Structure 1
């Protein structure tokens, strides 16, 4: 990488940090910005079309700083090299398309979990319209007066949790850059804090993707990470990097 951050990478980091500080400021006023800017399941009453874009700049709120720190570190480390290779325009296209890809695959995975819940709920005599209404969050991120019979039925609670839990973070876009980096620089050696042994990118990144796939399929109850968003972003990054790399050094 060069001595300074390339312009798009630098500005994306600045925007993400500004959004993070905005969530802190609104949090002081007991307003949850993720209600308006996080990406909800498209069927949720909390979903707004702009969330497909804005969720990429939202991160877990204070005092959790590890989410934004890891993403911004990865954006600096891998985004800089990818931007310098493909140029600002293609880099920006890759970043947002990877983020959109993450949103799509994450919600596709949610769909296959939500549909059986809806069928079970209807079979128990509950109204899906009522559940839809009671799933709407107020500005504080709280539900409106959920009836006792709704609170005591696990399938209803699970569906409401799908409707009221937003996806936030730049991770889908970041994974697109991670995979693109591995395509561009397969022999570059990488090492992370939790795994300090240097491994070539062409081995390291596929291992990370494999772990994401395993964790996503297992769907652990304690695990609130959007693994399929990572996979969706990684897939877009791979497809674009493979396509663009073929023409990278082609002469006119």
Structure 2
């Protein structure tokens, strides 16, 4: 089974394994945990801290945060890499890696700009990149049924609309220590990058209705 994942979806497999391993390790290593978190205030004053844009995406706050993101990635990331490969051959693996990494960076830029003068603000988690993966998947399969909170069935295109609406509202109004901006800009990055890679995906998406 593991060999099949590595053969057919090597990029998703590596991301999945590294994220779980790094998160579990930092749960018991608070010093490293602090060094890997995104800290916009520090980045604005020391460009050597730019590496945290990437490292903050492989660690999580707690078990619940990790499990939610990894379950989402498991269901959509592996499938998306296969969609890319079906569309582009072996290059699809590279395209999937680029979508994930670029979206991770783009999802954090608004946070860095907004909180560059806030020394108490930190952020972590793969949610921005995973939102990109999810929304890229939705372009390929807009009518796929998603189980919201593992219970409520909903077509993917409707979920996308509600998700974006909630992220926009929450980024302005919520006070729950969740980086809703990363979710929003990650989702938008996934849509834009997928359209740039596969311009025909817009026609494919609309043709499903």
In the superposition, the TM-score normalised over structure 1's length comes to: 0.68
Say what the alpha-carbon RMSD is for the aligned residues. Answer: 2.2
Tell me the residue number matched to 1:84. 82
Residue 233, structure 1, aligned to residue 189, structure 2: no
Tell me the residue number matched to 1:191. 147
- Distance in 2, matches of 1:59 and 1:172, equals 12
Tell me the residue number matched to 1:73. 71
Tell me the residue number matched to 2:137. 181
Gaps of 5+ in 1: 115-161
Tell me the residue number matched to 1:10. 13
- Distance in 2, matches of 1:23 and 1:224, equals 20
| Alpha-carbon shift at residue 24 of structure 1 (Å) | 2.8
Which structure: greater helix fraction?
Answer: 2
Contact 2:146–2:154 under 8 Å retained in 1 = yes
Distance change >3 Å, CA 45–CA 34, structure 1 → 2: farther
Tell me the residue number matched to 1:156. none
- Distance in 2, matches of 1:103 and 1:45, equals 16
- Distance in 1, matches of 2:28 and 2:17, equals 17
Residue 214, structure 1, aligned to residue 165, structure 2: no
Superposed CA offset, 1:179-207 (max 9, x none)? 1111111111111226x232211111221
Distance change >3 Å, CA 51–CA 237, structure 1 → 2: same
Superposed CA offset, 1:135-194 (max 9, x none)? xxxxxxxxxxxxxxxxxxxxxxxxxxx314321110110010111111111111111226
Residue 104, structure 1, aligned to residue 57, structure 2: no
- Residues matched between the structures, number: 187
Tell me the residue number matched to 1:153. none
Tell me the residue number matched to 1:146. none
Secondary structure in structure 1 of the residue aligned to 2:177:
coil
- Distance in 1, matches of 2:55 and 2:69, equals 15
Secondary structure in structure 2 of the residue aligned to 1:186:
coil
| Alpha-carbon shift at residue 47 of structure 1 (Å) | 7.2
- Distance in 1, matches of 2:149 and 2:34, equals 33
Tell me the residue number matched to 1:171. 127
Distance change >3 Å, CA 35–CA 197, structure 1 → 2: closer
Distance change >3 Å, CA 71–CA 4, structure 1 → 2: farther
When Rg is computed on C-alpha atoms for both structures, the one with the higher figure is 1
Tell me the residue number matched to 1:202. 157
Contact 1:171–1:230 under 8 Å retained in 2 = yes
Gaps of 5+ in 2: 85-91, 202-209
